[in-house]
Each structure stands twice: as C-alpha cells, then as structure tokens.
A and B are shown apart, each in its own frame.
Chain A
Amino acid sequence: MRAGHVLSGLAAVLCIIAPLVALAGMQSSGDSAEVTPPWFVLTDPVLRRLLLNSAALAAITGAIAGSGGLGLGVALATVRSSWGRTGAVLHMLPLCLPPYLLALGVVHGLARGGPFDTILGSPLRVVVDGLFHGQAGFVTIQILALTPLVTLLVLAAVRGMDPTPLEAAALARGPRAAMVRVVARQALPAAAAGATLVFLLTLGEVAVPMLLGVQTYAGTVFARLADLSFLPGEALSRSLPMVLVALAGAAALLRLDRGGAVLPSARAGHGPAPELLGRGSIRVAALITAGLVGVAPLLGLVWMATSSSDPLSALGPALESVGRTLLYVVGATVPLVALGLLGGHAWARDPAKQVFSAGAALLGLALPGVVLGIGLIALWNRPVTSWIYGAPVVVVLGLVGRYLYLAQRAFKVAFDAVPAAEEEAALVARTSVPARWLRVTTPPVRRATVAVGTAVALLVLRDLDTILAVYPPGGATLAVRILTLEANAPPAQTATLALLQVGLSALLGLAFLAAITRRRTA
C-alpha cells in the first residue's frame, strides 16, 4: 500500500467519516427520536420521484457543463487571440460566486426596470425569463456557475499534452480532424472528471432551488437540520440514498477515464501549438460568447450595486472578512493539493486500494454541507479538542472534507496520462522518496497542480455551506458576510461585496491563466 493510500484514507476518516459517525450519535430535538430508514425512499412515491428528478437535473447539468467545458477548454488551449482569452476570463467569473448570489443577480437583473429589461426589451425578456425560472432556471444557474470548473481542468489537460500525435494528425488529416480525434479525445477524462464534480455539486445544492421554488431531494435533507428541525439521525438517513446516486454517477463517469489512455504520452508536453490548428475563428467566437453569457448574471449585481448612492460604505467593515477569507483559502488549498497529489497518484497507480478513500471523499462532496458541518461540531466540540473547535483550523478540516474528492479525482486524471516507467526506474535506482517526488513524479503534472490548486482555491473562496456551520464566532469570511447581510441590507451593499468577491477571485483566475499558458523555452 502506498503512502498516498494511507494519508488520503486518514484524511477521509478524520474529515468525513468520523464527523458523520459523531453526527449519527447526536440526540435529536423533541420527541422525534425515530429515524426513517434509508430504504423508505424506495417505498414512498413522492420521495422516490423527488430523488430521481433531482438526479436527472444534476445529470443534465453535468452533461451540458461537461460538453461545454470540454469545447471551451480545448478552444482556450488552442487559440492565441487576446479576445478569446478575455472571453475565457469572463466565462470563469461565475465560478467565483456561490451559485445563490449568481441566482440573485439574475433575479434582480430580470426584474422590471432591471438591466435585462432595458437591453433585451419585453419580448426577448419573456424568453430569457423562462430560462431562469423553475427547474430550467436551476439547471441554467448551475451550468453558468460550474462549467468554468470543467474548462479549467480541460485547459490544464490540453496544455500538458504531448504534441507529437497532434502534429502527425494535423499533417495527415487536417486541423479539424486533429482537434476532434486527438485533442478532444485526450481531454475527455478531464472533462469527465469535471462533469462528475458538477453532477455532485448540483445534487447537493440547496439555496438556489429554494430561491427558484424548485423542490429537490437535497432540500428535504437540509430541512431536517434547518431552523426549527434538529434531526441529525434523520438527516443522515435521508442522505444515504443521495449518496448512492452520487456513487453511481461518479462510477459511470470514471469509465470515461479510459478514453485518454488510447493515446498515452511518453512524457507530458506543453500542449499543441495553436498555429497547427488554424486561426480558430469559431473557437474565439465560442469563447467570447461564453464570456458574455457568463458575465450576464453579474450585470444584475452591478445594477444592484449602482442602485443606491452609497454602495461603497459596505467595503470598510468587510476588510477583516477579506483577510480571513484569504487565510482560509491558503490554509485549505495547501493540504488539499498535497492530499490530492498523494491520493490521486495512488489512485492512478493502484486503483483498487483507493476505493475506500475515494468513496469516503465522495461522501464529503455529495452530502449537503450542513450535514458535514453538524458532524464536525459533534466530533470536535469537546473540552480536549477545544483548541481545534474554537480555532479556524476546524474550518480547514471541513473544507478538506468537502473538496478532497475534487483534488484526488483531478490528479488521478493527470497521473493516468503519465506513464509510470520513470517512477519505477527511480525506485529501482533507490532514489530517496523526496527526490523521487520532487524530480520525477510531480514535474509532469505541474500544470495540473496549478489547475487543481486554482479550482480548489476558487471553491474555498466562495464556500458557504461548510463554513457557515462551524466558523469561530467573529470569524466570518467574505462569502458568509455577504449571505448574512443579504437579509434586509440595502441590495447595493450586498451586490458591492459580491463584486468584491468576484474581483478577488478574478485576480486568482488571472494568475492561473498566466501560469498555465506560459510556454517553456527549450
């Protein structure tokens, strides 16, 4: 068993399994000590229909986001146009905000007198209105919010590709065939990994469906731990069918990982030279369109922010929460990247032994954040561990539990594309473990490391569900502050802070793009 198996397994136990066991042992409020068994969902037609409907919505979202992200990631990796890159940055902005705030921007933007009313006019507005209400609205918001995740992963995969097969295909069959048969095919596992994450995050989303009046299965789990209900055992029991659906979806998408293995690289490269694939006018147009669509919900927020005379007054009191946010981003991203690297490597090299760790990590992502949050309280709120519970480190534990699967899965895809021969040679040569990792194992996945780190940092930066449950008193992040102020604060202030959040995330995204698109000189 590799160290990666052990360490990622320990992290899964500490951050996910142990809190859930502690949650199960918690006493419910009132007389409702009786817990509905998980198989009840099979016998209750309403719950069964709700679960299937929620899974279908998540699957549709994953499929569309996966396909769109594949195309956009390939496009971004294979064009040099500054217009295209600008479109890509705009496309990624929605990833910077919790989907709920994005939905709020859309709702306000679509309101009578709002910017969409002005820009589109009444007939087109009615059409757009239909896109953003009910189940269609939920799927649309999730696609806008999460497709950039897929784009990021595909971009890293393509930029790390060995260009040799591509050059041969471009010469033999032309640029279009090279694009489809080589580039897109090799990027398929990254897109599948991204689609899995979109599926899981959508399945567990609670706030957006509630805002849009959509009933979801995750909402019924949330309701058992919300407001007047304190039914931890019931919440956990109801979560289990959801987890089974998540496992099935993730397993189905894992099969697509083999798509990239058809053309294994001798060594990871620096991606295809854009000039091999033509001017790419269509690709640039696609990126610009994606950018305009991505930035549209933010128009609603900008309109909200400028609707009052004093939007900037919210900034001063928020500075402390900005500092805390950055602390959590660094504090959670580093262990997540490290555990993802170790766990993803172990998963790629010896998949059978990673089943427990990957499965447990999947729980952390599939369950509504409130379930994990209450579990963290149950586990860590004890006199002997008060130094953990009372400190920001409990938030880091929660964030690691929440996003461990994302990090492991993405690195697994990266290491699948790198043959193990060099590592084995280093092992035979008795190279020390640190030297082997620093000089042999990690260099081929350098771009993947940057991509995963950026994706994790963006998700941590906008996290709400996990942080809300356990943040130390007085220790709210910017995203939490936005949400707690949203109740009856002037909309302009909420929108200003949301745009500040976007700005912070955009800086992170720009740094990522700069790192990922820098070409090595021989």
Chain B
Amino acid sequence: MTRRRVVLIAGLFAVTAALGCARAPSEQVVVYTSVDQVFAEPVLLAFEQLSGINVRAVYDTEETKSTGVLNRLLAESQHPRADVFWSGDPIRPQILITRGLVAPYEPAAAEGIPAAFRAMDGTWTGFSARARVILVNTELVPEDERPDSIRNYLEPRWKDRTAIANPAYGTTTTHIAALFEAWGDEEGRAFLTGLRENGVRVAASNGEVKRLVAAGEVAWGVVDTDDAAVAVESGAPVAVIFPDDGDLGTLVIPTVAVRIAESPNPGPAEALMDYLVSAEVERALAEAACRQMPLRAGVPTPQNVLSVAEIDAMEVDYPTLGDAVERLHPGFMAWAEGTGGP
C-alpha cells in the first residue's frame, strides 16, 4: 500500500473519530437562545469566564430563515438536550410551559424585577426588555408629520409608504395579538384588512423593515428597540418614536429565561439562570448595541436608554397574551399566505 493511501486512510479515520465523538462531559450548560447572537454571545462568554462552566449554545436566526430554537425544543421534548431557554420574548416560553416542558426555578437574583414580568410559581422570569417602536426616516418625513400611533398604518397619507414584519413570525405576532386583546377580535381583523388595503409592505423580518426605513424605501415601520438602536448607531437618517403614548401604550417585550424540565445539567442551568436575570446582565444589555431596557429600577443605563418605568407601557398579562398568540397564530399565517385570516 502506498504511503499516500496510508495517509489518506489515517486521515479518514481521524475525521470519523472526530465526527463520532460527542464532547466529553465536563461541567457544562446547554442554552438555546432566540436573543440575537451578537448580543447574547458576549453575555454567555462572560458567564463562562466567571463560573468556569462550559457554555454550549444554539443561537436562533431571524424567524423566517430557519425553524427556530422553539421548534427544536419541541422536537427534542421527549429527551431534552437544552438546560435553559433564553427567549427574546415572553410568549414562546409560554408554549413550553403549557406543554409541561419547563421546571420551575426562582433565581435568587430575580428580586427587584417587578411582579408583572415574572411568574410567581417560578416557571418564567423576565429581565432586560425591548419595546415595539416606530422607526421613521427623517429625510422622508418632517418632524411635524411623523406618526405616533400603530393606527397610523391605516391612514391614506401613508398608503404604499410603510412596512411591517410578517405577523406570522417573531415579535410582530406578539404585537398584533396584543392589539387583538386590547381592541377585540373584530377591530383586530379590520386592522389586518386595513394593512393590506393601505399597501403596507410585508417584510420578511424586523431587520428587513429596519433596512427598508434606513434606505428610504419606505417612510416608516414598526420594529423592536434593538433593531432601532442598531439603525441609529449605524448613522442612518432615522428617529425612534414610542407609539400610543397616553393611549394604548407601547408594548414592552421582556427577554425571559426558563429552566427546561429533565434537562441533562440542572445545577449549571440554575447557575446560568441566576446570572442571566442579575442586575449585572441588565446593565450589560443596556450598554450593548441593543440598548435593552432594564426592568429593575436603579440599574445604571446610558443616556439614550429609557427604563421601562419611563415609558407608557401597554397593560399586558403575558400568560394570557401567550394563549391569545396560540389561538390567533393560525389566522395570522393564513393572512400572510393570502388564504384567509384570524
């Protein structure tokens, strides 16, 4: 046998061994997160350095590009692989809780987080929030003409000039469901119909809405505060408006951590959750490019970051909103596909 063939065969054995080996079980925690990797990864790396626990993460893409970590959690539910689910919103964890896939755990560090943003039975704990805001192109829309309400989508002056992310996915689903809860189903359906009739461009994601507004392809659109902050930071000609101040209020979306039931590493899972809901992480996420809003009072933030207490927040019961999302979501999907509606 020639030397070249020996080397080739040895190489193939090495590759096979590498592929076949799951990592040796040192102390580790497996976290699935739908928080954008660019923001979540530094937090998880900091935890790794602080605790010495190896963090193995699965990050999510924007909603319309992959099945998402939530569905992976559901698909793995018979034999969970994840220890912690760090969700970018409070709705997806509700689906896991409803299916009995979450183990209650009240992190000691959760003290100081308002009661509206965590479950009393310890099934979910919210921290570090985003809000649904209007991002407007300042070169296309003078200051005195800017929108200030979600209802502005239906005004004739904005016909064919606005964008919204697909309501079948992501935080837009949560937002539209919250509107249905606040207005009632009939007015909610009228709103969706009005979006189509007024030529609102349905984009693939909040990130795409951000790009369309920043590029001046539309005048304005609703996005999350992290998308808006990134657009402002990049120097795009945009301004941020918290909608429905003094009226319906602005929807606040806390990030949420839950412990997965029957997970392989319960001890490290609790350590990670203790870290995630701490004031230290709230401050880090406020200072990061996502400019997330602390839920705790007294957490130092940069000048341009509001805390939740400083905005007119929409009154929401998140578990009830979770039920509404599950009820309405098939209708949102049909609306997006043009085959019907909620």
Contacts and interface: CB of A to CB of B under 8 A. Distances in A.
A484 B60 contact: yes
B66 A370 contact: yes
A484 B37 contact: yes
B51 interface: no
A367 to B, nearest CB: 13
Contacts of B79: 381-383, 386
Interface stretch (B200-208, B239-247, B307-315): B200-208
A228 B173 contact: yes
Given A220-B337, A484-B60, A32 B66 contact: no
B117 to A, nearest CB: 21
A3 interface: no
Interface stretch (B12-20, B119-127, B188-196, B274-282): B12-20
A484 B59 contact: yes
Interface stretch (B68-76, B150-158, B251-259): B68-76
Nearest to B229: A488
Interface in A317-343: 317, 327-328, 330-331, 334
Contacts of B68: 226-227
Interface in A32-52: 32, 44, 46-47
A211 interface: yes
Interface stretch (A66-74, A190-198, A248-256, A372-380): A372-380
Contact of B72 (A232, A328, A469): A469
Contacts, number: 189
Given A327-B19, A370-B67, A44 B339 contact: yes
A207 B70 contact: no
B60 to A, nearest CB: 7
A390 B81 contact: yes
B15 A488 contact: no
A464 interface: yes
A281 interface: no
Contact of B95 (A29, A32, A219, A471): A29
A100 interface: yes
A487 B19 contact: no
Contacts of A374: 67, 71, 75
B287 interface: no
Contacts of A486: 61-62, 207
A334 B15 CA distance: 10
Given A220-B337, A488-B290, A227 B330 contact: no
A213 B201 contact: yes
B185 to A, nearest CB: 18
A230 interface: yes
Q: How large is the interface on B (under 10, 10 to 19, 20 to 34, 35 or more residues)?
A: 35 or more
B74 A485 contact: no
B108 interface: no
Interface stretch (A168-176, A391-399, A428-436, A510-518): A391-399
A111 interface: yes
B12, B65, B78 interface centre (most CB from chain A within 10 Å): B65
B320 to A, nearest CB: 16
Interface stretch (A56-64, A265-273, A439-447, A472-480): A472-480
A316 interface: no
A489 B37 contact: yes
A464 B66 contact: yes
Interface string B178-222: 000000000000000000000001111101100100011000000
13 contacts: A29-B99, A32-B330, A111-B215, A112-B215, A227-B64, A377-B72, A383-B79, A396-B19, A483-B61, A484-B61, A486-B62, A487-B36, A488-B289
Interface of B: 11-12, 15-16, 18-23, 30-32, 36-39, 41, 55-68, 70-72, 74-76, 78-79, 81-82, 91-92, 95, 99, 166, 168-170, 173, 201-205, 207-208, 211, 215-216, 226-227, 230, 234, 289-290, 325-326, 329-330, 333, 336-339
For the complex of A and B, list the 9 residue pairs with the smallest distance between their C-beta atoms, beginning with the closest: A474-B56, A473-B56, A390-B22, A489-B38, A484-B59, A377-B75, A391-B22, A210-B204, A468-B66
